[in-house]
Structure 1
Amino acid sequence: MNNKIVIPIAIGIIIVIGGIIVITNQESDTIKIEDTLNKELQLNEDITPEVEEKLNEIEKINLENEYSPKEREWITSGPFQIDRSEYVLGEKIFLRIGGLEYDDKGQVAFLRPLNNTHYSVFITIPFDGANKPAFNYYVEPQLSKTKGYCTVDDFVGNWRVVFRGTDYPNLEFKITEQILPGNESDFKPIC
């Protein structure tokens, strides 16, 4: 009976020792990585005046195109609010509606400028305080061949937000010619 126990233990010990030997004799899988930081520094020392001028030009363009959204201002008319007084093309206009009275019912109409005196309805958003006293809505002016919005000129200017069915005063905001970086292709003329 002792032989039956000793043999499996001896085989187990031999297997463990063999595994340790195999693991310690394996070569490392690490790869040498070149010191690229030093190479970059060395390359920068060899920049020609023409390359330096081009790099400065690119940096100047990047600084001119730098974009940071305006702070939220929350322009208010009764229970209606928009988050800014000025937007760039590609930014969403955030409409926040909160605290509608039970009998407040009507439409929020976003009016885009046609010229200095006339406006056209861009979108209307219905509201009914009896059904929903508070909600949020995003409006994003985008070019659309089917709706007849062909160029950025269809959006740039002073907009109005009118609250039909209420006595709340209108809100106004402006959309500038500037385009949100990364959205330039969305505002190329389509008609």
Structure 2
Amino acid sequence: MKKGLVIGITSISVIVVIASILLVTSPKSNVIETDKTLDNIVKPEKEEIQVENVLNNLKNTETNSSEIQKKYDELEKIDLENEYSPKPREWITSGPFQIDRSKYAIGEKIFLVLGGLGPEEKGQIAVMRPLNATHYSVYLTIPFDGAKKSAFNYYLEPQISKAKEICSVNDLTGKWTVVFRGTNYPNLNFEITKEVVPGTKIEPVC
């Protein structure tokens, strides 16, 4: 009985050992180990690719920043131009002096009409652009002398100009005034808005 029992126990032990070996060396176990190994290899590569893509994007952004700004400026200009539509003429009057509108777009001509000047009337038309809410700068002066010419027409187109220290559209927009020096005629006022006549150059110059 004891001999049979020993043989039985030995047989069971052999079976358990064989089963353990089969489990360890089974295809399923190999797949699991392979998957873990691939995960360890692939994940760092993905992370490296992502980091490389971010760095490339940053590099491209830095390289193209000036081009992006240029495109933005062009789109902004198009938006401003799309807002433009000519206003009807109003003909605002001060004595023998007239201007055709109270509001102008950037790039729009301002028509000034003089008619019926007396022979004794002599002076200057001073077109003043705004520097701030209370101060102005002389943009242009136009002499007149009724003894030589009692009527004439004149037009001007305020523009961005480095020589006149008008660096951008911000220096053009606002409420302008026309002063008639040498006379008692009241000033005429007009406004230049942010609207832009299509084709007008509005790039800053200083």
Structure 2 equivalent of residue 73 of structure 1: 90
| Displacement after TM superposition at 1:105 (Å) | 0.2
Aligned to 1:158: 175
Q: Distance in 2 between matches of 1:151 and 1:171?
A: 24
- Correspondence list, 1:50-69, <5 A: 65=82, 67-69=84-86
Post-superposition CA distance 1:126-164 (Å, at most 9, x none): 000000000000111111112211111111000000000
Tell me the percent identity. Answer: 67
Mapping for residues 1-191 of structure 1, pairs under 5 Å: 65=82, 67-183=84-200, 186-191=201-206
Contact 2:130 2:137 in 1 (8 A): yes
Structure 2 segments unaligned to the other structure (5+ residues): 1-77
For 1:65-119, what per-residue CA distance to the aligned partner results, in whole angstroms no more than 9, with x for missing partners?
1643111000000000000000000001000000000100000000000000111
Letter in structure 2 aligned against 1:141: P
Structure 2 Cα separation of the partners of residues 66 and 109 of structure 1: 30
CA contact (8 A) 2:84 2:195 kept: no
Which of the pair is proportionally richer in helix? Answer: 2
Q: CA RMSD in A?
A: 1.5
| TM-score (norm. length: structure 2) | 0.60
Q: What's the offset of the Cα at 1:178?
A: 1.2
SS in 1 for 2:205: coil
The 4+ residue runs of structure 1 with deviation greater than 4 A are none
Structure ID, larger Rg: 2
Instruction: Give CA-to-partner distance per residue, 1:46-82, whole Å, 9 cap, x none.
Output: xxxxxxxxxxxxxxx89x8164311100000000000
Residues 1:66 and 1:156: Cα distance change in structure 2 (over 3 Å): closer
Q: CA deviation at 1:187?
A: 1.1
Unaligned segments of structure 1, at least 5 residues? 1-60
